[in-house]
C-alpha cells in the first residue's frame, strides 16, 4: 500500500507540474477573466474590482440569472461549452490514465467492494441521472440512509481520504460529461433526497438546475465543503454568481483554480 500511495501522490504532482504555467498567474490575473455578461445588464468589471465573487440570494435579481442561464445554454455558447467539455474530459482521461490505473488497484487492495459506484443526482432542469465516482467509502456507508460526509468520517477508507482530498474520486464523472449529462464546469449535482429539503429551506435553490451540473465549479474553488443546509445556502451564492457571469473564459479560470484545489486539498471532505 505504501508504494501505491506514493505513486498516487507522485501522479498528482506530475499533473500539477505539467500545468505549472497556472502558477505564473496570480489571483488578480485569474480574476480578470471573470466578467459579467453585458446582456444581463451587469457592469463589465473584473471580480477583483468588484470585490465580489458571489450573489446575495435574498436580494439578487433572479430574472438576470435566468436570462444568463438561457444564454449559456443557447445556440451561441452551448456548442462552445460542449466542445470544451469533450476536449478537456478526453485530455484528462488520456493524461491521467496511469494514475487512474494505480487508483483502481489501490482501492481494490485497500477495502472490499466495487471499484466505482453510481449514485442518483439531480441535473439539468431537474432531471435525475446516475453519477459515477471512484468508491471512497466502505460498502455499508449508507446503511442508515443518505447523509453528508463529516469531518473525520469513519466511513471513508484510507485510500478514500486521499482521492477525495485530491479530487481523483471525481474523475470518473468524465463519463457523465461525455454522455452529455454533465458539463466539466457547473454547479455540483446533489442527491434528490437533499434537493427536496434544500429547495424548501433556501430561496432560488432550484435555479442552479438552469445549467448542467459540473465536475468542478465556482463554489468548489471558492468555498469549503458544505455538509448542512447553511453550507448549501452559502454555496448557492457562488453557483448563482457563476450562472449570471458565465463565459468560456470563466470556465477556464475555474479549471485552473481546480488544479490548485486538488494540489492542496482545499474544501474536500
3-state secondary structure 177-232: HHCCCCEEECCCCECHHHHHHHHHHCCCHHHHHHCCCEEECHHHHHCCCCCCHHHH
Q: How far is CA 25 from the centre of its chain?
A: 21
* Contacts of residue 230, Cβ cutoff 8 Å, sequence gap at least 6: none
Rounded to whole angstroms, the Cα distance separating 34 from 46 reads: 6
pLDDT in tens, 142-196: 777 777 777 778 899 999 999 988 889 999 999 999 999 999 999 999 999 999 9
Instruction: Give the number of other Cβ atoms within 10 Å of residue 56's Cβ.
Output: 10
pTM over 0.85: no
Cell triple for 239: 453557483
pLDDT in tens, 222-255: 987 777 899 999 999 999 999 999 999 999 999 9
Q: Which of 44-48, 81-85, 90-94 has the lowest mean pLDDT?
A: 44-48
pLDDT of residue 228: 87
Beta strands in 186-233 (DSSP E): 214-216
**pLDDT score of 256 more than 50:** yes
Cell triple for 37: 455578461
Rounded to whole angstroms, the Cα distance separating 119 from 2 reads: 30
DSSP secondary structure code for residue 172 in this structure: G
Beta strands in the chain (DSSP E): 116-122, 128-134, 183-185, 214-216
Of residues 219 and 38, which shows the higher confidence score? 219
Burial tier of 18 (Cβ tally within 10 Å: 0-12, 13-18, 19+): exposed
Cell triple for 226: 458544505
Which residues does residue 133 pair with via DSSP β-bridges, in sequence order? 117
Q: What is the largest CA-CA distance in the chain?
A: 55
Which residues does residue 156 pair with via DSSP β-bridges, in sequence order? 137
pLDDT bin (cut points 50, 70, 90) of residue 44 is: very low
Q: Which of 50-59, 116-125, 129-138 has the lowest mean pLDDT?
A: 50-59
Q: What is the mean pLDDT of the chain?
A: 83
Residues of the chain with pLDDT > 70, as a percent, come to 79
pLDDT of residue 162: 93
Q: Tell me how long the chain is.
A: 269
Amino acid at each position: 500500500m505504501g508504494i501505491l500511495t506514493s505513486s498516487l501522490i507522485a501522479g498528482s504532482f506530475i499533473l500539477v507540474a505539467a500545468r505549472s504555467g497556472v502558477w505564473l498567474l496570480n489571483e488578480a490575473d485569474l480574476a480578470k477573466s471573470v466578467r459579467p455578461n453585458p446582456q444581463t445588464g451587469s457592469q463589465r468589471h473584473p471580480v477583483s474590482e468588484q470585490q465580489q465573487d458571489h450573489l446575495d440570494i435574498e436580494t439578487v435579481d433572479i430574472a438576470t440569472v435566468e436570462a444568463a442561464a438561457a444564454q449559456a445554454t443557447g445556440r451561441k455558447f452551448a456548442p462552445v461549452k460542449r466542445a470544451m467539455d469533450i476536449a478537456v474530459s478526453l485530455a484528462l482521461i488520456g493524461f491521467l490514465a496511469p494514475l487512474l490505473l494505480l487508483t483502481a488497484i489501490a482501492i481494490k487492495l485497500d477495502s472490499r467492494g466495487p471499484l466505482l459506484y453510481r449514485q442518483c443526482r439531480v441535473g439539468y432542469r431537474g432531471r435525475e441521472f446516475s453519477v459515477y465516482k471512484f468508491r471512497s467509502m466502505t460498502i455499508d456507508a449508507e446503511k442508515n440512509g443518505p447523509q453528508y460526509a463529516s469531518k473525520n468520517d469513519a466511513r471513508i477508507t484510507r485510500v478514500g481520504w486521499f482521492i477525495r482530498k485530491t479530487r481523483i474520486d471525481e474523475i470518473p464523472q468524465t463519463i457523465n460529461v461525455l454522455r452529455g449529462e454533465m458539463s466539466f464546469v457547473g454547479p455540483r449535482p446533489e442527491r434528490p433526497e437533499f434537493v427536496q429539503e434544500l429547495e424548501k429551506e433556501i430561496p432560488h435553490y432550484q435555479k442552479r438546475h438552469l445549467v448542467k451540473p459540473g465536475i468542478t465549479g465556482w463554489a468548489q474553488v471558492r468555498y469549503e465543503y458544505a455538509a448542512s443546509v447553511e453550507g448549501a445556502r452559502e454555496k448557492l451564492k457562488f453557483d448563482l454568481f457563476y450562472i449570471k457571469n458565465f463565459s468560456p473564459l470563466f470556465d477556464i479560470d475555474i479549471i485552473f483554480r481546480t488544479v490548485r484545489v486538488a494540489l492542496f486539498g482545499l474544501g474536500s471532505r
